[in-house]
Amino acid sequence: MSGPVLACRGVAKLYGSGLARFVKNGRLSADPERLAADGVTAAVRDVDLEIFRGETFVIMGLSGSGKSTLVRCLSGLIEPTAGEVLFEGRDLSKISERELIQIRRLQMGMVFQNFALLPHLTVLGNVAFPLGIQGRPKAERDKRAREMIALVGLGGREGRFPRELSGGQQQRVGIARSLAVGPDVWFLDEPFSALDPLIRREMQDEVLRLQGMLKKTIVFITHDFDEAVRLADRVAIMKDGRIEQIGTAEELVLAPATDYVRSFTREAPRAKILTARSVMRPADGEDFAGHVPAGARIAAFAHDVEASQKPFAVVEDDKVIGAIDRLAMIDVLVGRELKAAR
């Protein structure tokens, strides 16, 4: 795997006065008790992470956990009090303001929770707006904007104003606008939390569809674990400004690193998260009713296994690597504890 597109090294973001006294050699040097005693708020504390090209990385946590502050550090919207944010190996705090603006204009796209559309511009005008900021000719930016509008399924609505669109359509305009510049990294900060559940699921499907086509590096912020499960390659769970654990949804469910992660994932849809590999047992020369791929989600084959008296073979690269039976399905569906590796 190549190096990370984005990385944090000891990143902290504090709010208060006299913050320099809490930083030593570029790193946060005070514990939470001292910060609180001095009236300082630590929105983000000691964050280390790496985000790789083409992955969908979800940062999640409850309100006040620091996730939105962290994404603003990652995108260069705010400068961390301590630590480094590296974009393609370059420390964002050590480049010129002009270079940072260029990176944010040309290589980063962002979708916000509140849509942030300009009410006096049409759909076409809103999507073309960042291209105008770049100084591209009108014919070029209109052509690109029309392509992005069609990509998100709004072809034919180019002349409408935001007030004439539904919430889901407005968010599609925001997505099209953020993609118009062809960003390397696509930030989505709780983009669907204001939408009705049905529209929210449709927009999740839209992100999955676009990611399948465009293969962007996505940093997605949410407080909803179900949403994270649907979208993420890896998930970072935050609490009180710190990252509790980073892993796939399956790793978080099977091997929670802290009690907080365990409680956070307790109600997770296990059948949609766990794979055959994670619940299989050793095969013992038995007679199988069928086979399932090792990477298949439980929900895809649970009914067949439950209905069979015989186990199913778990197969990878045309080889049987284990077996799965009705008991394993019951363990998953009733939420019984599973070991991370069988």
- pLDDT of 335 reads 61
Report residue 42: phi and psi, to 5°: -100, 95
| Shared domain check, 253 and 204 | yes
**pLDDT tens track for 232-248:** 999 999 999 999 999 99
For residue 299, is it within any domain? yes
- pLDDT of 340 reads 46
For residue 36, is it within any domain? yes
| Shared domain check, 217 and 198 | yes
Q: Tokens for 252?
A: 């978080």
Over residues 216-233, mean pLDDT:
92
CATH number of the domain that 207 lies in?
3.40.50.300
**pLDDT tens track for 189-199:** 988 887 888 88
The domain in which residue 296 lies consists of: 270-333
| Shared domain check, 200 and 278 | no
For residue 315, is it within any domain? yes
**pLDDT tens track for 130-145:** 999 888 999 999 999 9
Edge-to-edge strand ranges of the sheet holding 82-87: 41-51, 6-15, 82-87, 90-91
Over residues 42-55, mean pLDDT:
96
Mean pLDDT over each residue of the chain, to the nearest integer: 91
| Shared domain check, 97 and 59 | yes
Whether the predicted model's global pTM rises above the 0.85 cut: yes
Using the 3D structure, point to which of 219, 234, 264 is the last residue of a domain: 264
| Shared domain check, 211 and 256 | yes
**C-beta separation of 335 from 341 below 8 A:** no
**Residue 342 binned pLDDT confidence (cut-offs 50, 70, 90):** very low
